[in-house]
Structure 1
Amino acid sequence: MLIYAVNLIYLLFFLFIYLQDRRRLINGFLFFILLMLSGLSLVMLTDETGNPFLFFLLIIIAMAAALLLFTGVFIILAISFYSAVNLLRKEGRSKANLLSLLVGIGILLWLVLGMLSFKNVEINDVLSVIMLVVNTILLYLLLVFSNFILSSFIYGIYRPVLRQDYIIVLGSGLMGGNKVTPLLAGRIDRALKVYRRQADKKKSPPMLIMSGGQGGDEQIAEGEAMKQYALEQGIPEDHILVEDQSENTYENMLFSRQLIESREADMKHLRILFSTSNYHVFRAGIYARKAGLKAQGIGAKTKFYFWYNALLREYVAILAMHKKTHIVCMLILLVIVGLASLLIHHPDLVTRFI
């Protein structure tokens, strides 16, 4: 009974932390612990009751976990090259579109190095050291990535109530210098879906804030182009505000907050959403918090090949936010793994210092 009580208490603790602020990376780690506790509770319950349905469920979960463990790297490899080929063919060559290709090539090199390190060749010891360092770094990056995915997943569970006061739509570049791209149109359409659903409920529709400045290759500000698109979709002009100074996501949030503050005497009780692409929602939420904006996000769907590469970019950006911390953590992990390896393979060296 103790494990069930611990599981229940931890569930309540997790929900309290999660509902306090859905935009924290630690939520993914806390959710992982909840999954482990729930799995242990399921094992105990199955053992105590002998329920055949629970036993079958455990078998399915174990098989899925084993399949993912042994084939996961090959699945990621296949997805990486699928994404790369489609991106280069449909979206053109650019540095941003090469990330999934680089990940695929990196996985191939890792597999080759792994096979060579087990062969009896002269540089086996050198390769073993290289693989130890590479595997340690990859393990750390994989753990951080898994936490990012879990945090993004549970953040994406959020469904907005239809009592919003403002919806901020984040810009993402223009086509031909003055027209919204399909990607940006998706963000606007996602916001308009909430706008119309709220209006259909006979409630006051939210104000739409089109947020995006003017790039060097753009004829007008993104916010203005987004406004024109919304007008073409039948949205009244007096329901649209334009923020046309921002150059990045943080400024989208900061300047939109300032625009709202200029209209409202008190923001404490306002309900605010932001609309962006599905891969960008979690990081945009982090920037909203940094900008002092209490807002939750909704995401527009993107094509899978584009989503995967963009998700990798988001992960790299998340790493860059705390790069010093990650570098220190990796160095500490390398020292620990190195000492452990030395202790296992050369215990005589260790005894000399004791």
Structure 2
Amino acid sequence: MKKIVTLLCVVIIAYPLYVMSSVYLYSFESADAKADAAIVLGAAVWGGDPSPVFEERIKHSIKLHRESQVSTLIFTGGVGDGDTQSEAAVARAYAINQGIPADQILIEDKSTITRENLIFAKELLSLHQIETVLLVSDPLHMKRAMTMAEDIGLDALPSPTTTSRYKSFSSKAKMLLSESYYFIGYQLGKLTR
């Protein structure tokens, strides 16, 4: 019995450490490839403007478009509590204001979580015959987002933002812990689906 308890304790400690290291190491993965579109995962909107985290994602997608890595931008995200506009609509307006043609932007504005961002974006891909995508989010969010994308059958490559609101050791550590927690929860959730 003692051996089983010891083994269980090792697993309970080792698995989260493994996940944290894999989330951290994956944050450096970035595809330098062309794709049909960039899917930009939604984030908070503050008073009709993108939050700093969301703004970095939008800026990154605009850069991909300007460098001809993608021809279409897909912004995701619904209307948050207390907001009047969807995350996707705010991102679209921001991109248009930065010179991206409106006809090269698609939005899905129903989602509230990452998995929904991807599922609803996949519907747009099918509707517009878009095959390959770069997935845009924060570096520490990429492992979970890419795992979800693969699970729903998206032909996606990672394209994390090159800048982030999470700059200090403290903020990066909190984000790493949060993402590791949600990644483990997502993996455990798959066992019950």
TM over 0.5: same fold?
yes
Instruction: Answer whether contact 1:209 1:240 (CA < 8 A) is retained.
Output: yes
Specify whether residues 310 and 156 from structure 1 end up closer, same or farther in structure 2 by C-alpha distance, changes over 3 A only. Answer: closer
Distance (whole Å) between structure 2 residues aligned to residue 321 and residue 293 of structure 1: 17
Verify: 1:298 aligned to 2:169, yes or no: no
Q: Which residue of 2 aligns with 1:244?
A: 109
CA-to-partner distance for each residue in 1:19-50, whole Å, 9 max, x for gaps?
xxxxxxxxxxxxxxxxxxxxxxxxxxxxxxxx
Alignment of 1:171-190 (within 5 A): 171-176=42-47, 178-190=48-60
Q: Which amino acid aligns with 2:65?
A: Y
1:155 paired with 2:29, answer: no
**Cα separation, partners in 2 of 1:324 and 1:291, compared to 1, 3 Å:** closer
- How far 1:209 sits from its partner (Å)? 0.3
| Residues 27 and 140, structure 2, Cα contact 8 Å, conserved in 1 | no
Contact 2:38 2:72 in 1 (8 A): yes
1:34-73 alignment runs, 5 A limit? none
Provide the rounded CA distance (Å) in 1 between the counterparts of 2:81 and 2:23.
32
State the match for 2:37 in structure 1. Answer: 166
Contact 2:75 2:108 (C-alpha < 8 Å) held by counterparts: yes
Larger RCO, structures 1/2 (Cα 8 Å, 6+ apart): 2
Q: Which residue of 2 aligns with 1:218?
A: 83
Closer/same/farther in 2, CA of residues 160 and 217 from structure 1, 3 Å limit: same
Superposed displacement of residue 324, structure 1: 8.1
TM-score, normalised with respect to structure 2 = 0.83
- Given that 2:111 and 2:120 are in contact with CA atoms closer than 8 Å, whether structure 1 keeps it comes out as yes
Tell me the distance in 1 between the aligned counterparts of 2:20 and 2:173. 12
In the alignment, the residues of structure 2 paired with residue 198 and residue 324 of structure 1 have an alpha-carbon distance, to the nearest angstrom, of: 37
What are structure 1's unaligned runs of at least 5 residues? 1-128, 200-204, 327-354
SS at match of 1:288: helix
SS in 1 for 2:137: strand
Q: 1:84 maps to which residue?
A: none
Equivalent residue runs for 1:188-227 within 5 Å: 188-198=58-68, 205-227=70-92
* Cα distance, 1:172 vs structure 2: 1.1
Question: In structure 1, what is the Cα distance between the partners aligned to 2:84 and 2:184?
Answer: 33
Asked if structure 2 preserves the Cα contact closer than 8 Å seen for 1:156 and 1:298, the reply is no
Letter paired with 1:228: A
Q: TM-score, normalised by structure 1?
A: 0.47
**Alignment partner of 1:229 is 2:63:** no
CA 1:325–1:143 in 2, change beyond 3 Å: closer, same or farther? farther
Count of aligned positions = 184
Task: Tell me how far apart the structure 2 counterparts of residues 220 and 191 of structure 1 sit (CA, whole Å).
Answer: 20
Residue identity opposite 2:17 in structure 1: S
**1:311 aligned counterpart, secondary structure:** helix
Show the counterpart of 1:282.
Answer: 143
Q: Which amino acid aligns with 2:167?
A: K
Does the aligned pair in 1 maintain the 2:73–2:104 contact within 8 Å? yes
Q: Shift of the alpha carbon at 1:162? A: 4.0
SS of residue matched to 1:218: coil
Q: Residue 27 of structure 2 contacts residue 141 of structure 2 at CA under 8 Å; is this kept in 1? A: no
Percent identity between matched residues is: 27
Alpha-carbon separation, structure 1, partners of 2:51 and 2:46: 5
CA deviation after TM superposition for structure 1 residue 237, in Å: 1.2
Structure 2: 5+ residue stretches without partners:
none
Amino acid at match of 1:303: K
Letter in 1 for 2:18: N
Once residues 186 and 160 of structure 1 are traced to their aligned partners in structure 2, the CA distance between those partners, rounded to angstroms, is 18
CA 144–323 in structure 1, closer or farther in 2 if over 3 Å, else same: same
Aligned CA RMSD, in angstroms, stands at: 2.6
Deviates further, 158-167 or 210-219: 158-167
Distance in structure 1 (CA, Å) of the matches to 2:190 and 2:124: 34
**Cα distance in 2 between the residues matched to 1:325 and 1:144:** 16
More helix by share: 1
- C-alpha contact (below 8 Å) 1:254/1:293 kept by paired residues: no
How far, CA to CA, are the matches of 2:95 and 2:6 in structure 1?
A: 49
